[in-house]
């Protein structure tokens, strides 16, 4: 990560994001809400620049194909920029653990003491950060992005990965 305060202003951004509906499975109401919030937050503020690509903004289509994560990146006029394909294997454990702790967190919100909720949430955020860092590492030399963008993309990848 960079410490340059103007770095994100030099990066492009995602202006449109779609998830392949065929790649989505039925989600709990809480997970569905998290997905909608991640998309909204991502579109409101992100820093995303494919290396060597023309200046954005970009339209990104995320899908799962043959157990791989596919980023189809285009300019807003539809001109293709790049297709990135990542193996989902490195994400399997983190996504599985992330969804297990998310379910515990949602249940705890309804029944547990605030200290228990806080402890579960710390674990949930830790796994989320781990997945976000893995995504940044896997996209290194392919896409420049800030950590918040990686976090929001990891949430969406998790949703797709459950089905994939």
* pLDDT tens digits for range 64-89: 888 899 999 999 999 999 999 999 89
Q: What is the rounded CA–CA span in Å between residue 38 and residue 130?
A: 17
pLDDT score for 92: 87
Confidence of residue 162 (pLDDT cuts 50, 70, 90): low
Q: What is the CA radius of gyration of the chain?
A: 16
Place of tokens 């690509």: 53
| CA atoms within 13 Å, Cβ hemisphere of 105 | 19
DSSP string, 83-112: EEEEESGGGHHHHHHHHHHHHHHHHHHHHS
Q: Read off the pLDDT of each residue in 153-159 and give the average, rounded to a whole number.
A: 86
Confidence of residue 24 (pLDDT cuts 50, 70, 90): low
pLDDT score for 3: 42
Higher pLDDT pick, 19 / 162? 19
| Nearest in space to 17 (alpha carbons), one of 157, 133, 163, 162 | 157
pLDDT score for 83: 97
Q: Per the structure block, which two tokens stand in for 97?
A: 């653990």
What are the pLDDT digits (tens) for 98-154? 888 888 888 888 888 888 888 888 888 899 999 999 999 999 999 999 999 999 999
Q: Read off the pLDDT of each residue in 34-60 and give the average, rounded to a whole number.
A: 91
Q: For residue 28, is pLDDT > 70?
A: no
Q: Give the burial class of 131: count Cβ atoms within 10 A of its Cβ; 0-12 exposed, 13-18 middle, 19 or more buried.
A: buried
Q: For residue 39, is pLDDT > 70?
A: yes
Q: What's phi and psi for 50, nearest 5 deg?
A: -60, 135
**Helices of type H across 11-146:** 29-44, 92-111, 114-138
pLDDT score for 104: 84
């Amino acid at each position: 990560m960079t410490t340059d305060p103007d770095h994100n202003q030099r990066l492009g951004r995602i202006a449109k994001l779609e998830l392949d509906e065929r790649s989505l499975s039925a989600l709990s109401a809480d997970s569905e809400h998290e997905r909608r919030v991640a998309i909204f937050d991502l579109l409101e503020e992100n820093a995303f620049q494919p290396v060597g690509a023309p200046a954005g903004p970009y339209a990104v289509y995320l899908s799962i194909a043959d157990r791989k994560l596919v980023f189809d990146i285009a300019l807003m006029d539809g001109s293709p920029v790049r297709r990135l394909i990542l193996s989902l294997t490195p994400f399997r454990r983190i996504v599985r653990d992330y969804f297990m702790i998310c379910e515990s967190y949602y249940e705890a919100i309804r029944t547990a003491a605030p200290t228990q909720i806080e402890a579960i949430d710390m674990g949930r955020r830790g796994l989320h950060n781990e997945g976000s860092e893995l995504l940044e590492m896997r996209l290194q030399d392919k896409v420049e992005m800030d950590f918040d963008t990686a976090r929001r993309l990891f949430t969406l990848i998790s949703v797709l990965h459950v089905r994939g």
